[in-house]
């Protein structure tokens, strides 16, 4: 037995390292649904950067644990931000922001404000997230703000299918 372990210790170390990386650093995650079209497509497999959850910025794509399911959305509002949609245009803290990632013009967003969630700004330790395909996305407009502890990490790199391989922002 000692001889087998001695001969194969490098393989055992590699297996342990792979498991530790998957648990603590990066793991694959699958896109379910069409709420992030056109940026992401259903079935895309992405790398989830678990360390990225501590440095979230506006427009990052994140993975959220919601009702024991992974959902993928885009961060629009950071803690302290006032978010409004007027005439299908995004306003953050009163300033118009160009959303280059969505090609969908959604009538539901006319005059939407986070005040519908009974807050004038995004609360501390929370984020306001939406899908790029607004008409089908179940996001902060319906489910409310997302607490930082419910964020599993950032996902911006598609690894499969190979035809879509690369960074998505």
Selecting among 50, 53, 73, 154, the annotated active-site residue is: 73
- Whole-angstrom CA distances from 142 to 30, 50, 54, 122, 139 are 22, 26, 25, 15, 6
* Residue length of the chain: 169
Quick check: 32 pLDDT over 90? yes
Instruction: Report pLDDT digits (tens) over 110-164.
Output: 567 778 888 889 999 999 999 998 888 899 988 999 999 999 999 989 999 999 9
Q: Is pLDDT of 76 > 90?
A: yes
- Which domains, from first to last, does the chain contain? 27-167 (2.10.109.10)
| Residue 73 bears catalytic tag | yes
pTM for the full predicted model = 0.86
CA pseudo-torsion sign 133, 135, 141, 147: negative
Question: Which one from 35, 137, 140, 156 is the annotated catalytic residue?
Answer: 35
Task: Give the pLDDT score at 124.
Answer: 96
Most confident of 2-11, 12-21, 28-37: 28-37
103 catalytic? Reply is no
């Amino acid at each position: 037995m000692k001889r087998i372990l001695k001969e194969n210790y490098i393989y055992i170390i590699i297996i342990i390292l792979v498991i530790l990386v998957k648990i603590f650093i990066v793991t694959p995650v699958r896109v379910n649904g069409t709420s992030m079209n056109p940026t992401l497509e259903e079935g895309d497999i992405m790398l989830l950067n678990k360390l990225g959850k501590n440095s979230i910025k506006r427009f990052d794509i994140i993975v959220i644990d919601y009702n024991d399911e992974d959902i993928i959305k885009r961060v629009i509002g950071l803690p302290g931000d006032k978010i409004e949609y007027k005439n299908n245009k995004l306003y953050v803290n009163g300033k118009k922001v160009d959303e280059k990632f969505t090609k969908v013009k959604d009538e539901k967003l006319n005059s939407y404000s986070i005040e519908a969630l009974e807050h004038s700004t995004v609360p501390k330790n929370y984020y306001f997230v939406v899908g790029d395909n607004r008409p089908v996305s179940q996001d902060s407009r319906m489910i409310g703000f997302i607490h930082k502890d419910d964020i599993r990490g950032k996902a911006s790199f598609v690894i499969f299918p190979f035809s879509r391989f690369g960074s998505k922002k």
